[in-house]
Amino acid sequence: MKKQAVVAGAGNESISKEEIAAYLVKQLRKKGADDVVVSAGTEEAVQLKFSNSTISTTQSWHSEKLNIFMAVDRKLVGTSIRSLEKRAVDDAIAKMLKFAAAAVPNKEYLGIAEGPFSYKEIPETYDKAIAGLGDKAVDILNGAINIARKNGAGRTAGVFETTVSNVYLLTSNGVEAEDKGTKAYFSVRAFVDKYASGHHICNSRVLRKFTPEASAEKAATIARQAVNPKPGVPGNYDVIFSPLPFANLLESIGKAASIFNVESKLSCFAGKLGKNVGSTEVTLVDDGSLPNGFDSVKCDEEGVPTQKNVIIDKGILKTYLHNTSTARRHKTKTTANAGIVSPNPFNLVFEKGNFNKEEMLRQVKRGLIVTNVWYTRFQNYESGDFSTIPRDGMFLVENGRVTGPVKELRISDNLVRILKNVAAVGDEPEPVFGWEVEVPTITPAVLVKGVRLTKSVE
């Protein structure tokens, strides 16, 4: 593997991240570690934050980091260092060993993956056009703000962010991997007035599939339609969730599939493997190897090549998300979702259906279109009881027709009940990632029957 000099510290020889990683693995193994995982990464990110249709601030970040995990007699220790000078690395080794000596074993820990592995390049995860975007980002943002304005938005707010990163992974079990990536992310909220707004998001790993102007137009269109909302009436409604709010719910579902959360009672899927957890319209996949997937990466944190995992297939829960240690403990195979401590989803994909917008609307006699939600909170993660608050345009649907905007309603329901009441799935998936959806999720609009809406007392 090509060696890259990353630091030439004062009084130190040039040290490559590969050499430092190899030195760490060798030294920690020599001093008694059973397992060692080292990942060295750098990241450059730039953000234009805008509000009231002007740039509020520019932000740029540079970070270099070396994460180290070590297991000694099942005592698990993690740290990270920023300086790649040999002295700092030796200090970290000494401190890790001292820390481990005073730690307590984790009897459930069953090791990391046995390498080596071979890795495939994932298409559309790096684009030099994003890496070299520079000040052109201002022109792209200006174009999007202008599109929103032309479509009726009095003001807009959001962020436009690009990231360029690389990571090198080395483990004591023969894993060696390197990956690099680019990302572009745009979030725009458009306002016609204080109480009429719309939100849209786009993200991509490659610039040619990045569509901020289309997002700006969609956000402005929702805002325009949301003018003069009437107070909503509480009750049960059939709800058409746009991709943005449905992704918010799917994120909770994806996280609930992690075995760590199942064991921690932070999941509504405990004891439900092989059982029905949704309607037959529900198929949910996690795919860390997805081309142009926002969090796609060649391998997980212990070096296992990422893969496509079907979490829910036509309503049946098929698997939890595992790393090597949890999989061994549960007598199954890793799903390549390490997190060494907690397995996590990479990119959630809700399988698209056959309904276009008009067909879906025709299914609804008395319902709502919810275009965004926020502040999703659980009363009980195990039962799935939660509430979340629609924000931005929300529209009343009567007899298959949109009859006007409404406001001030809250979804107070149950996550499993919502999955079981999925009645129709749209045919236009959209990628969602952002402030309220941290796990990248691709989903179309989804119709859920009989959703419970509440509101503040008079």
C-beta of residue 333 within 8 angstroms of C-beta of residue 269? no
Round to whole Å and give the CA distance between 275 and 419.
13
User: Between β-strands 385-390 and 410-414, what pairing exists: parallel, antiparallel or unpaired?
Assistant: antiparallel
Say which DSSP state 371 is in.
-
Round to whole Å and give the CA distance between 427 and 446.
9
Position among 12, 51, 166, 332 found at the interface with other proteins (CB under 8 A): 51
60 near other proteins (CB under 8 A):
yes
Smallest distance, other proteins to C-beta of residue 225, A: 18
Dihedral angle computed from the Cα positions of residues 379, 269, 300 and 40, in that order, rounded to the nearest 10 degrees: 20
Position among 14, 26, 78, 236 found at the interface with other proteins (CB under 8 A): 78
Position among 93, 112, 155, 226 found at the interface with other proteins (CB under 8 A): 155
Element (H, E) at 72: strand 54-72
Round to whole Å and give the CA distance between 156 and 50.
8
Please give the residues from 271 up to 330 whose contact with other proteins meets the rule CB under 8 A. Answer: none
391 near other proteins (CB under 8 A):
yes
Round to whole Å and give the CA distance between 253 and 248.
9
26 near other proteins (CB under 8 A):
no
Position among 412, 420, 427, 450 found at the interface with other proteins (CB under 8 A): 412
Nearer to other proteins, 64 or 313 (CB): 64
Position among 113, 159, 249, 369 found at the interface with other proteins (CB under 8 A): 159
Q: How many CB atoms lie within 10 A of CB 3?
A: 11
Say which DSSP state 207 is in.
G
Nearer to other proteins, 65 or 86 (CB): 65
C-beta of residue 391 within 8 angstroms of C-beta of residue 321? no
376 near other proteins (CB under 8 A):
yes
Smallest distance, other proteins to C-beta of residue 391, A: 5
Which pair of tokens denotes residue 436?
């309220």
Position among 273, 341, 402, 423 found at the interface with other proteins (CB under 8 A): 341
Q: What is the CA radius of gyration of the chain?
A: 24
For 446-457, b/e burial (b = at least 16 CB within 10 A) is: bbbbebbbeeee
Q: How wide is the angle at C-alpha 417 spanned by C-alphas 262 and 431, nearest 5°?
A: 75
194 near other proteins (CB under 8 A):
yes
In sequence order, the β-bridge partners of residue 434 are 437
| Number of shown-chain residues binding other proteins (CB under 8 A) | 88
| Non-local CB neighbours of 21 within 8 Å, separated by 6+ positions | 38, 39, 40, 66, 168, 170
Nearer to other proteins, 315 or 390 (CB): 390
In sequence order, the β-bridge partners of residue 177 are 169
Nearer to other proteins, 71 or 360 (CB): 71
Please give the residues from 169 up to 188 whose contact with other proteins meets the rule CB under 8 A. Answer: 187-188
Position among 138, 214, 227, 273 found at the interface with other proteins (CB under 8 A): 138
Nearer to other proteins, 42 or 283 (CB): 42
Nearer to other proteins, 89 or 282 (CB): 89
54 near other proteins (CB under 8 A):
yes
Mask of contacts with other proteins, 414-453, x by CB under 8 A? Answer: --------------------xx------------------
Position among 354, 383, 399, 403 found at the interface with other proteins (CB under 8 A): 383
Mask of contacts with other proteins, 89-128, x by CB under 8 A? Answer: ------x---x--xxxxxxx--------------------
Stretch in the footprint of other proteins (CB under 8 A) among 75-83, 116-124, 307-315, 330-338 = 75-83
